[in-house]
Amino acid sequence: MKKLIYILLSAGLCTSCNFLDTEIYDNPDAETIYQDETSCMSGLAGVYDVLGYAGTYGQYLWGDLDSGTDILVYNRSYGKDNLQPNLYTHNNTDGYIKDCWLALYDGINRANDFIDLINQRTDEQCGSARNKKMYIAEARALRALYYMNLVAYWGEVPLRLTPTRDLTTQLLEKSPQEAIYAQIIRDLKAAESGCLPADELNAPGRISRTTVQALLARAYIWQSGYPVYADTWEEARTYAKKVIDSNLHHLYGETDPAHQGYRDLFINMCSNRYDLEARESMFEVEFYGNGMDRSNECGKVGLYIGISQGVTTDPDVPYAYAWYDATKILYRLYLEDGLESDRDAEREYKVNVAKDKGDQRRWWTFADYTYKANAKTGKIEKNYLTDANLTSANNYGRTGNPGKWRAEYDPVRPWARNNSSINFPIMRFADVLLMFAEAENELNGPTDECIKALNRVRERSNARTLLQGEAGRTDNKENMRQLLFREQTRELCFEVPRHMELRRRGEQFYFDRIRMLYDQTAPENPNCGASSATVGYERSDVRSVPAYNISERNLYLPIPQCELSTNTICKQNERW
């Protein structure tokens, strides 16, 4: 099978047309495979390959399995009675759950097999001792990433560390989360020295040393929360600080006075242009093509999550299903934390709401236009929201299509209805800064270092600089903790596993946030003192369905039936 993986890109801001065509061995002969550098790289490409499956980052990990939260919801009214995970109507035979589980364990088994065989090869067969160390390091980092997704969605799972080549090695009990995190951390620590520095890689499609450090920070933060409560904030801070101190990564456009770095970061991502100066995007899942050739390397980013466009008669505008909406709950967050005091609210409300003022992430995260057909020309045009539209109280509760990834920037032509070449980010430097701020706050409260890291993220997008000691925000650890949750949501929405981000803050917090989707209270708009739209949605609205359906068993996904049938000593998850 042939798959396209981007191994080497020329220096500077490059396009994804510069790739090497790397052959992958799906069923290698253990005795004859991996005899030279080329075949070793092909095997490593096979471990990366799973990242692009529909069951992983091709679709399910950001869409079908991670929507139905406080910030992203399924929007098809005709599907409100469907059996699907994002409506919490699923069971353990659900196809999305099965495919994701199988894909993640496929990646793990490929990593296990590759590590086992490369360990048996000489340095010469691998090209050099450095290459051998690098191959094993990247495979272990990928194995850790696959397990991070398993623990994020399922909690306790079987911990497979050796190749599963037949049914005799299939039987394995679930391991507790503590053991899974311990293995994730062992793998990442072992990978740290072997992975190449980011400035020796010419694209974010491979795991660099600083990406490993960032994943370590994430793993330490995750296990510090519910249900493990490992209290590894010091380690999280250490590894986030390593990335910052490397000086290899910066926020894209953070010195741009026009404050459009956030927008331009995602335009570059959608356009398959790689920034090798700031390197904010540290690790991406790379997609290629439109599905009209044999590569089969496409994703759904920008199409299934994107700006709705349902007309096929205009070849100059891409079709996009846009199955998901960003919620009113998320929209409100962009209007919070922007004013210095309540006294400023009425005076500054209109300025803050205006599209060219305030936090510029808002009108990239939310599309500020819809598509419409010109009755005279038949062409598709953008119908932009005006500032007048936005000053009404109802728009304080605006719902809209997510605009982070926009199909119009996909460079591959012709556009396809079901396939895109837009990449998906797994780790950005902005996430590292916010992880550092969170760990620093948990250890020492809202220190100057904590607030400085937070403000770097905010200032890049023209959000107001926060000061030390602001009441309700930076004046104590708990207020800072809540502020950082809001900031992480504003910056990283749709990128990091939302269910995990809610759950690690506590079981009650998890359910309370999702049940906000049916909250019919209409609190006062803090930016203008007027009444606002309701927090959530009416019972008849499909966007409220997750809140009505979610129950205590939906804290984690169920172990799929396909696993229980073949691995008979694996027990179903609690509450299922």
Q: Please give the domain boundaries of the chain with CATH numbers for all domains.
A: 1-76+95-195 (1.25.40.890), 323-400 (no CATH)
The 10s digit of each residue's pLDDT in 416-432 is 989 999 999 999 999 99
Mean pLDDT across 335-349: 56
pLDDT at 10: 31
* Least confident span in 215-219, 246-250, 339-343, 488-492: 339-343
DSSP classification of residue 192: H
How far does CA 557 lie from the centroid of its chain?
18
The angle subtended at Cα 426 by Cα 369 and Cα 9, nearest 5°, is: 95
Could you give phi then psi for residue 241, rounded to 5 degrees? Answer: -65, -35
Does the reported pTM lie above 0.85?
yes
φ, ψ at 523 (rounded to 5°): -65, 160
- Alpha-carbon gap, residue 486 to 502, rounded angstroms: 11
Closest CA to 380 of 341, 408, 352: 408
| pLDDT tens column, 185-216 | 999 999 999 999 999 999 999 999 999 999 99
From the list 366, 289, 378, the residue with the least C-alpha distance to 322 is 366
Amino acid at position 479, single letter: N
Which residue intervals of 71-154 are DSSP H helices?
95-119, 123-126, 129-153
For residue range 251-299, what is the model confidence (pLDDT) as tens digits? 999 988 888 999 999 999 999 999 999 999 999 999 999 888 877 789 9
Please check whether residue 180 is in contact with residue 556, taking contact to mean a CB–CB distance below 8 angstroms: no
Instruction: Dump pLDDT digits (tens) for 129-187.
Output: 999 999 999 999 999 999 999 999 999 999 999 998 877 788 999 999 999 999 999 99
Look at the block and give the residue holding tokens 């209805």: 417
H-helix or E-strand spanning residue 56: none
C-alpha dihedral, 289 to 294 to 299 to 300, nearest 10°: 90
How far, in Å, CA of 116 to CA of 136, rounded? 9
Do 332 and 397 touch, CB atoms closer than 8 A?
yes
Tokens in use for 375?
A: 């009755």
Residue 356 CA to residue 241 CA, distance in Å, equals 33
pLDDT in the model for residue 533: 80
pLDDT over 50 at 360, yes or no: yes
Is the backbone peptide bond immediately before 497 cis, with ω within 30 degrees of 0?
A: no
Q: Are 390 and 528 in contact (CB under 8 A)?
A: no
* DSSP letters spanning 537-571: --TTSGGGHHHHH--GGGGSPPPPHHHHHH-TTPP
Q: Which of 52, 111, 62 is nearest to 85 (CA)?
A: 62
